[in-house]
Structure 1
């Protein structure tokens, strides 16, 4: 069984996203997306301005939105150097969420169990 990442480890993996432009957000866990307006597509082209971690909750602020990922008990952040949109492949583990950046990098939020508990909330920033 994989060890649980500490908030400090998660922050180290996510710091490189600051200043990057979002190319896509794929929410692949059917029950994971907890908001429908704005949709994940609204994040395309947004610049990541701030990244934060509190306990097992990740917050990513963009130019116009805030994305919150609750990793629950076993969620992991997995950096991707050469990321592509997820497509089903034989034997491949499906992440719960894949965040693709314009520079070709990305991040998977994944869980070892079949029951997906990572949640995703997207809100518009107040003007």
Structure 2
């Protein structure tokens, strides 16, 4: 799933290529992707793109006050095309969900792999009309995301595990499973640490790590083509997606905790005092 750094890179790519161009056509291929009906999709036709912004993991293409807002979900992606095929796309088994054509013949596709379809496209006159955008927490790279604001978030979280706090979009926008793993590894914290157990120094340290990890990831992703972002992200992960491989800091094996529909990765030496965390799914299988 693309998270804040990759979505920010896609935002920059779109901003450089679509602002000032008119949308000539939007083709909807996967009808389940469109979550709104007013304004209609063809309200975008003929409008000039005036800006591209990011709301957490959502991208927002503003065409003279009509917004194409989309979330790529777990298996969605954006494919840029210097030349869009002239023939209208037809529903098929390929992953194409939506195609946007610009007045110079270029454009982009939204695709989604797999059978679970969660890619979401909205056409609205205000991004806040998208329920999940309206309920987003603060952006962790925003100027007003201060240590005090982060401390207040941890206070409200109470005994909730810090991994869940970091990836809850209603609490902090843009961090998902991958970067929460990376942040906690860099901060040397167990993912199961209760939010309120952190003292003042621990909170300050975690705040700095959140900002540093995300800023560095944004810098690495910036300027890359969309097709390069996935591999670039995977190549820079220290623990996420690296179960069984050596930790780049201490050399211990990277371990995993599995859940029903996701998993987390961590280093026991760096994060849990050398004690492996219980893998609840494996524990059930061994009973």
Matched ranges for 1:65-84 at <5 A: 65-84=66-85
Distance 2:108 2:72 in 1: 13
Distance 2:124 2:78 in 1: 21
Q: How many matched pairs?
A: 122
Distance 1:74 1:94 in 2: 10
Task: After superposition, give the CA deviation of every residue in 1:5-31 in whole Å (9 maximum; x if it has no partner).
Answer: 712331233121111100111121121
Moved >4 Å (runs of 4+): none
Q: TM-score, normalised by structure 1?
A: 0.83
Structure 1 regions of 5+ residues with no counterpart?
A: none
Higher helix share: 2
> What's the counterpart of residue 24 of structure 2?
23
> What's the counterpart of residue 8 of structure 1?
8
Asked if structure 2 preserves the Cα contact closer than 8 Å seen for 1:29 and 1:116, the reply is no
Structure 2 regions of 5+ residues with no counterpart?
A: 127-287
Distance 1:42 1:8 in 2: 26
Q: TM-score, normalised by structure 2?
A: 0.39
User: CA 1:62–1:113 in 2, change beyond 3 Å: closer, same or farther?
Assistant: same
DSSP-derived class of the 2:32 partner = coil
DSSP-derived class of the 2:14 partner = helix
- How far does residue 54 in structure 1 lie from its aligned partner after superposition? 3.3
> What's the counterpart of residue 111 of structure 1?
112
Please give the root-mean-square deviation of Cα atoms over the aligned residues, in Å.
2.2
Higher relative contact order (CA 8 A, sep 6+): 1
User: CA 1:79–1:116 in 2, change beyond 3 Å: closer, same or farther?
Assistant: same
Asked if structure 2 preserves the Cα contact closer than 8 Å seen for 1:7 and 1:54, the reply is no
